[in-house]
Amino acid sequence: MMRTVEVLLVIILLGAAYVATSSFIALPSPSTVSPVDLNQLAYTTLQELDSRYDLSSAAFQTNNLTAWGDLQIALAASLPANMVYNLTVYNVNTASNGAPLYSSVASISNAANLASTDASSYLEASSNVTYISTPQQISTNGVPITLYILDCSDTAGWWITGYTPSSLAQTVYSLLSPYFKTTVMVQNTNQLNQLLNGKPIEGESLKNAIIVNTNGEAVPIPSQFNSTNPLGFNSTYNSYSKYDYTLGKLTQFYNWTWVSIVGYPFYYVTNTGFLNNVQNGFGIYGISKSGNVATQDTGAPGLYAFLEGLDNQPYVYNTNSIAGTPQTGSTVYLSNQAQSLCNYYGLYPSYYQTSTRALPTSITGTYHLAVTTYLFNTTFGQPPQSTYNPGAVYRHLSGTNYEGGFLALGMTRIPDIRLTALGILCDYQPARYGSLYTAAGSNRLVVLQLGTVGGR
């Protein structure tokens, strides 16, 4: 019993001590424990006011009483009731030494004096400000190079379903010409013949040029390389693959980059003039396979011949097929490098594509090639032990120097011409220089100063 009484006495004494002590403690006000972050509130308010460009519009219409009245109403509605504010707009100019100069042009406030305050600022640009991006011109060893686009009116296309060579040529021009000092549209095979004979079309530089063939699997062939010309025709096998061999030699000699936009490169040759009575086996006249014309053999000899010429090997007629289909159900994926540069260059092809004409990685050893850009990830194909590059830029190695190259996109049928542009840009990686064109007084700084009634 005594123990119980003792415990009760202890509890009573402790309670009395707590009550006595609490009476002398001054608890902080809620505003001190959790003060308002006026700086952050001011910045968030400015962002909210500009979400529909109301703040930007009012900042450049300081004489418009309606715009300023609407802004003050919106500002008051955005802030707590116990908040005082001062919003000031400054015109931004530049001094002779490059330092910014600020001059007040207008302000609104709901208090004569703001004692304890914080402020945030917001830079506005007027509608006459233009942001532009200037592409760097592609060059080799500091010398700008030429872009040739084959837009030959006397040719036909194949595996470019739904397009014409001319429509693709115009798209290539719009995507790539800003990156080149000189872009030449090759209008017909006579102009192409002039180019192949080492004569510029518009006084441009031939060395190190890029040549984009927009005819798909078919390659434009000038009439000068017809069946009477041994540089264009193999009379033993009735084959135009000798022309592809000549193209390979010239590509190596001038250090050209030949671009095949879709399918099996160099599978056909095309000229609607002297080949007008020849069709490719599918009823398209003006196109002949690179193989035996009389029997319409496979066009595989064309790619072999081009690679032999590029590597300065003797010409050999070979009908074995090089291209293959990946094991992944023909689906291939853009490489990490290509995907990372899509945003930079503003090109957005699908990151996965269909490929049935991929080139084997083995050609790099056979023809002394180095892959400088993998546009698509290397993949296994048929047979299973083979690996393929669905899309890549190859450079021919002569010792430690590059002498000629080609971009092969082994995609299926309908070409996504953005892949062509992306492949070239990924390989050369020209910079894009951002710049700002402004007129005087085209920038204004908005400062919002906030305080609370009675301080914080």
| CA trace torsion 279, 285, 289, 295 (10° rounding) | 10
d(CA 433, CA 334): 25
**How many angstroms separate the Cα of 13 from the Cα of each of 16, 94, 193?**
5, 75, 112
- The whole-number pLDDT of residue 382 equals 66
Task: Indicate whether 117 and 157 sit together in one domain.
Answer: no
- The whole-number pLDDT of residue 168 equals 96
Enter the DSSP assignment of 323: -
Q: What range defines the domain where residue 338 resides?
A: 134-434
Task: Indicate whether 113 and 262 sit together in one domain.
Answer: no
* 8 Å CB contact between 160 and 406: no
Q: How many independent structural domains does the chain possess?
A: 2
Task: Indicate whether 140 and 115 sit together in one domain.
Answer: no
Quick check: is 338 in a domain?
yes
d(CA 254, CA 243): 16
- The whole-number pLDDT of residue 383 equals 60
Alpha-carbon torsion (294, 298, 299, 302), positive or negative = negative
Task: Indicate whether 79 and 186 sit together in one domain.
Answer: no
Residues in the chain with pLDDT values less than 70: 1-36, 98, 115-116, 127-131, 327-329, 382-385, 435-441, 454-456
d(CA 420, CA 149): 12
Quick check: is 24 in a domain?
no
- CB neighbours (10 Å) of residue 436? 11
pLDDT tens-digit series, residues 4-32: 656 566 566 666 655 555 554 555 554 44
83-94 and 401-409 as β-strands: parallel, antiparallel, unpaired?
unpaired
Quick check: is 6 in a domain?
no
**How many angstroms separate the Cα of 159 from the Cα of each of 101, 163, 275, 296?**
61, 9, 19, 17
Rounded to 5°, the CA angle 292-298-304 comes to 90
Task: Indicate whether 312 and 394 sit together in one domain.
Answer: yes
Task: Indicate whether 92 and 146 sit together in one domain.
Answer: no
